[in-house]
Amino acid sequence: MFRNSALLQCAFFLLSSPLTTTAQISETWLRANEQRVLQEFQQLLSIPNVASDTANIGRNATKLVEMMQARGIRTKLFQTPGAPPVVFGELDGTSSARTLAFYAHYDGQPVDRADWQTDPFDPVRKGDRIYARSASDDKATIIAMLAALDAMKAAGQRPASSLKFLFEGEEEAGSPHLATILREHAAELRADLWLICDGPVHQSGRQQVYFGARGTTGMEVTVYGPSRELHSGHYGGWAPNPALMLAHLLASMRDENGRVTIAGFYDGVTPLTALEKKALADTPTVDADLRQELALGRQENPGRKLEDIVNEPTLNVQGIRSADTGKLARNVIPAIATANLGIRLVKGIPVKQSQDAVIEHIRKQGYFVTEDDPTPEVRKAHPKVAKVNRRGGGYPASKTPMDLPIARQVVAAIAKARGPVVEAPTLGGSVPLFMFEQELRTPFLGIPIANHDNNQHAANENIRLQNLWNGVGTMAAIMMMR
Amino acid sequence: MFRNSALLQCAFFLLSSPLTTTAQISETWLRANEQRVLQEFQQLLSIPNVASDTANIGRNATKLVEMMQARGIRTKLFQTPGAPPVVFGELDGTSSARTLAFYAHYDGQPVDRADWQTDPFDPVRKGDRIYARSASDDKATIIAMLAALDAMKAAGQRPASSLKFLFEGEEEAGSPHLATILREHAAELRADLWLICDGPVHQSGRQQVYFGARGTTGMEVTVYGPSRELHSGHYGGWAPNPALMLAHLLASMRDENGRVTIAGFYDGVTPLTALEKKALADTPTVDADLRQELALGRQENPGRKLEDIVNEPTLNVQGIRSADTGKLARNVIPAIATANLGIRLVKGIPVKQSQDAVIEHIRKQGYFVTEDDPTPEVRKAHPKVAKVNRRGGGYPASKTPMDLPIARQVVAAIAKARGPVVEAPTLGGSVPLFMFEQELRTPFLGIPIANHDNNQHAANENIRLQNLWNGVGTMAAIMMMR
């Protein structure tokens, strides 16, 4: 069990007692329930949740069902061959006129234990944070939803809207089956609005609501040198060096200011609306503070605001590996070099257009491109060979109009409970919003609760407890919205 | 114990019986002694030998002393604080007029066990090869020297020259203490010629004698992005990406044909002599065969012979690491990116000149260069920061004139026992020859025995047994040379 902390006692500056229709949760409730909520959170975080770990993914789903049923939610597992189970739940509201559906995911990014200070699946409380894989992305959000129901019940309240819950188990693997699942269960998933509960709040600390998210795709690119590592002395200057080939290839794709130099990469971007431009202008400027926090002497796309930049597509190298460095460094010409490319998309750019542009660019650099491991014959037949693994595809960006009435209602309800809200036309990160748009024809809104400095996707992922409790208030505000 | 193999029985086409003054070892001797020699080899290979592994390095030295004393060699350990022990030995010859000194090293390159098919320190015989770290580089050579003494003794022969042996324990770490040790023990190490027994024979399979070797230096370069890995969606296009910064930096250093584009990199190269040019012209051409063997569709420095190319300096990227790829790939902007640069030097280029040229080049790309881990303040104060680790320095190239009389005698003795010899003005790889030149003022000659495809410095290092037995013949030919 996490150690208790005096810090918690001052974490509720926004909350008054008792729970009212403005959905503020009481300090009394929190004191009485904090340990119980954190214990449940700890149990959930202790179950490893990389999407490919089938056995543990199943244990996560079972645990979620148990937690939801304890709140009177009617549950069901949506099973698809080869996919982790999707956990579905329903709870009636006091009014049958409106249904709100909450999406979150219970899987997490892969972990490289060597980089973690503590075991990623043995949650640890340090100061005002809990460290574990998915502590913020995205299990905290699920805990916040369920705790909101507990707090409402303790105050004799019930949700105004009927609620539906959908918890996915392979979002971090690119949600390869989500579209199919939404399509197959479209009737059960009917709702007036989908609330996509994933991502961080704004860096200013304000609650953020996002109306869209960048799409995501990418590929793993491997280039080939000699069929085995060679002594860098005996063959240096003669054997083609794949690490240097990869350096040239990557450098040809993007300049150091973040501008992608691949032909057609920016083609077709949908322009921002006037409302979106206004929302960006109204967003607090955090660039200078972030550069301080992250020890940066510069930023890419210099002179522009972070929030503006994430409204454009981008290409990043998310990892490179060729032979070894550090203690394992060897004096060799490596046999291969691999880069993990990540692409973020905005409205107007289909996944395939973006992937094809990258592949065409690789060809233009003189490479023979294959999607299979090249045979020795293929390697001998071409001066330069690149293997491209499209990694399951990805999905495009999607957006809800910023003037949609139900969206305005949600923003107003949150602002009443939690203070000024940052309205983001798009989140920089990706959530599979387009699938809700495409398969369910239902608008969506993104409601994140995690602190921005949560080490999401990296080692030592964490959640600030204050963000968790604020999230309980946000979720209650939405559930009780009349 | 290694499994015996019928292959061995045909491995001695060059050997006749009994041992004669031309130093051919007999098939009878080999049949009687093969298992014993391989058992001793296996014991030596089973002792891990990365230079930084002090305990095991000590066990290697103890084992060598035991093996040498069993041959009547008078041994001594040269101890230097912070360095592995150097094993020294002396054996009188039938003539006191000439002393030949044999250098080899007993340490090996680091191992990344994940890349090995078998345990690098549990030698395995597969087909006609033995697989283990240092099976070829460089423990086989030591075994060949000692087995040559056994074969000579069995034939009632003794070395004509007095012999000295020097076995180093940190060659693969760049021989940081060798110069000091040679200087301190100069009197004991007096000899007429040093025989540097390291490296591979020519790719044509012929015994090679090298008159020089490229020098070596290098550095580990780390460039910095944000102080922690960031979500590549939320910060993609804003946070500087160190993997892409490194790609640009490396691409600026060298073109894809192997030509180094760092200002001053080729300045001062000593031109080849007429004899050296003739030796290169006489060397069998192996480029096309090597491209087949290594599944290469091209070579760097196109149109030129491998042996010509290694007479120039070169720069290689020997490894890159930034975040992760494959199963551990994460959707992040990495925090750092590191490259292991290897530089090979030729006569006329000092180590420092070469390192300084690289560092100056990095500065010219806009980097603040430091040799320490940069503080957050340093990172914030500069748009681009690179840490350079000079990795202990390195050493320059060195050469013996190709017309030196004692060198001609050795080449003739080997040719008589082993057939046509490839004379290389320089080995592509590095051995610390210059230290023998500088500290002992003694000429040297390189006598390698390993097969060229030995995976030296890489995973699955191996020695062909035929090369080991040929090496016994080569060593005996030199020891018995009148």
DSSP string over B318-373: EEEEEE--GGG--SEE-SEEEEEEEEEE-TT--HHHHHHHHHHHHHHTTPEEESSP
| Chain A contact present for B269, CB below 8 A | no
Inside any domain, residue B57: yes
- Checking ipTM against 0.90, whether it exceeds it is no
Here the CATH number for the domain that contains residue A325 is 3.30.70.360
Percent of chain B with pLDDT over 90: 84
Segment (H or E) for B167? strand B162-168
Contact assessment for residue A436 and residue A193, using Cβ atoms and an 8 Å cutoff: no
Residues B319, B435 within the same domain: no
The predicted pLDDT at position A17 comes to 35
**Can you tell me which residue has the tokens 């794709």?**
A253
Mean pLDDT across the stretch A144-152?
A: 96
- How far, in Å, are A107, A178, A212, A218, B450 from residue A215 at the CA level? 19, 14, 9, 10, 54
Residues A185, A200 within the same domain: yes
- How far, in Å, are A50, A248, B40, B307, B398 from residue A237 at the CA level? 43, 16, 38, 10, 19
Beta strands in B273-323 (DSSP E): 314-323
Inside any domain, residue B271: no
Inside any domain, residue B308: no
Q: How many CB pairs under 8 A join A and B?
A: 370
pLDDT in tens, A106-142: 999 999 898 899 999 999 999 999 999 999 999 999 9
How far is the alpha carbon of A159 from chain B, nearest alpha carbon, in Å? 32
Q: What's the pLDDT band for A24 if we cut at 50, 70, 90? A: low
Inside any domain, residue A281: no
Tell me: pLDDT of A30 over 60: yes
Residues B428, B328 within the same domain: no
pLDDT in tens, B423-468: 999 999 988 888 899 999 999 999 999 999 998 888 999 999 999 9
Tell me: pLDDT of B108 over 80: yes
CB contact under 8 A, B430 and A233: yes
CB-CB: which of A199, A231, A319 is closest to B325? A319
Number of C-beta neighbours around residue B416 at 10 A: 15
CB contact under 8 A, A316 and B337: no
Here the CATH number for the domain that contains residue B133 is 3.40.630.10
Residues B39, B88 within the same domain: yes
How far is the alpha carbon of B80 from chain A, nearest alpha carbon, in Å? 23
How far is the alpha carbon of B351 from chain A, nearest alpha carbon, in Å? 15
Q: How far apart, in whole angstroms, are the C-alpha atoms of residue A130 and residue A136?
A: 9
CB contact under 8 A, B243 and A318: yes
CB contact under 8 A, B329 and A317: no
What does the mean pLDDT of chain B come to?
Answer: 92
Supply B324's token pair: 């992760």
| Chain A contact present for B406, CB below 8 A | no
The predicted pLDDT at position B15 comes to 38
Mean pLDDT across the stretch A457-482?
A: 94
Higher local confidence (pLDDT), B328 or B68: B68
Number of C-beta neighbours around residue B309 at 10 A: 20
Helix axes B465-480, B139-154, angle to 10 degrees: 60
The predicted pLDDT at position A327 comes to 87
How far is the alpha carbon of B237 from chain A, nearest alpha carbon, in Å? 5
DSSP A377: H
CB contact under 8 A, A234 and B427: yes
Segment (H or E) for A182? helix A178-184
Tell me: pLDDT of B149 over 70: yes
Mean pLDDT across the stretch A302-320?
A: 96
The predicted pLDDT at position B327 comes to 87
Please, which residues bridge with residue A344 across strands? A216, A314
Percent of chain B with pLDDT over 70: 95
Residues B358, B450 within the same domain: no
Number of C-beta neighbours around residue A118 at 10 A: 14
Tell me: pLDDT of B70 over 70: yes
- How far, in Å, are A405, A418, B89, B286, B299 from residue B102 at the CA level? 88, 80, 10, 29, 35
Q: In chain A, what residues touch B292 (CB-CB under 8 Å)?
A: 380
pLDDT in tens, A326-377: 988 889 999 999 999 999 999 999 999 999 999 999 999 999 999 999 999 9
Q: Which residues contact B28 (CB under 8 A, 6 or more apart)?
A: B17, B18
Most B CBs within 10 A among A219, A221, A250, A320, hence the mutation to make, goes to A320
The predicted pLDDT at position B10 comes to 27
Closest alpha carbon to B75 in B61, B58, B93: B61
Inside any domain, residue A288: no
Residues A11, A101 within the same domain: yes
Q: Give the end of a domain, one of B394, B429, B459.
A: B394
Nearest CA in chain A to B316: A236
The predicted pLDDT at position A23 comes to 44
Percent of chain A with pLDDT over 90: 85
Inside any domain, residue B306: no
CB contact under 8 A, B199 and A234: yes
| Chain B contact present for A428, CB below 8 A | yes
Residues B353, B255 within the same domain: yes
Q: Give the end of a domain, one of A331, A361, A394.
A: A394
Q: In chain A, what residues touch B240 (CB-CB under 8 Å)?
A: 256, 296, 298-300
CB contact under 8 A, B297 and A383: yes
Tell me: pLDDT of A54 over 50: yes
Q: Give the end of a domain, one of B368, B394, B420.
A: B394
**Can you tell me which residue has the tokens 């680790």?**
B389
Tell me: pLDDT of A3 over 70: no
Residues B200, B348 within the same domain: no
Q: Do the strands A215-224 and A385-389 form a parallel or antiparallel pair, or are they unpaired?
A: antiparallel
How far is the alpha carbon of A52 from chain B, nearest alpha carbon, in Å? 10
Inside any domain, residue B288: no
Q: How far apart, in whole angstroms, are the C-alpha atoms of residue A197 and residue A431?
A: 9
Q: How far apart, in whole angstroms, are the C-alpha atoms of residue A211 and residue A346?
A: 13
Residues B206, B245 within the same domain: no
Tell me: pLDDT of A218 over 80: yes
3-class state of residue A409 by DSSP: helix
The predicted pLDDT at position A457 comes to 81
Q: In chain A, what residues touch B298 (CB-CB under 8 Å)?
A: 240, 383-384
Residues B169, B74 within the same domain: yes
The predicted pLDDT at position B24 comes to 56
pTM, 2 dp: 0.86
The predicted pLDDT at position B90 comes to 98
CB-CB: which of B294, B324, B340 is closest to A112? B324
Q: In chain A, what residues touch B325 (CB-CB under 8 Å)?
A: 220, 319-321, 338-340
**Considering its fold, how many domains does chain A have in total?**
2
| Chain B contact present for A259, CB below 8 A | no
DSSP A122: S
Inside any domain, residue B287: no
Residues B220, B172 within the same domain: no
Residues B205, B252 within the same domain: no
The predicted pLDDT at position B53 comes to 94
Higher local confidence (pLDDT), A2 or A130: A130
CB contact under 8 A, B340 and A327: no
Domain of residue A226 covers 215-269+312-394
CB contact under 8 A, A458 and B230: yes
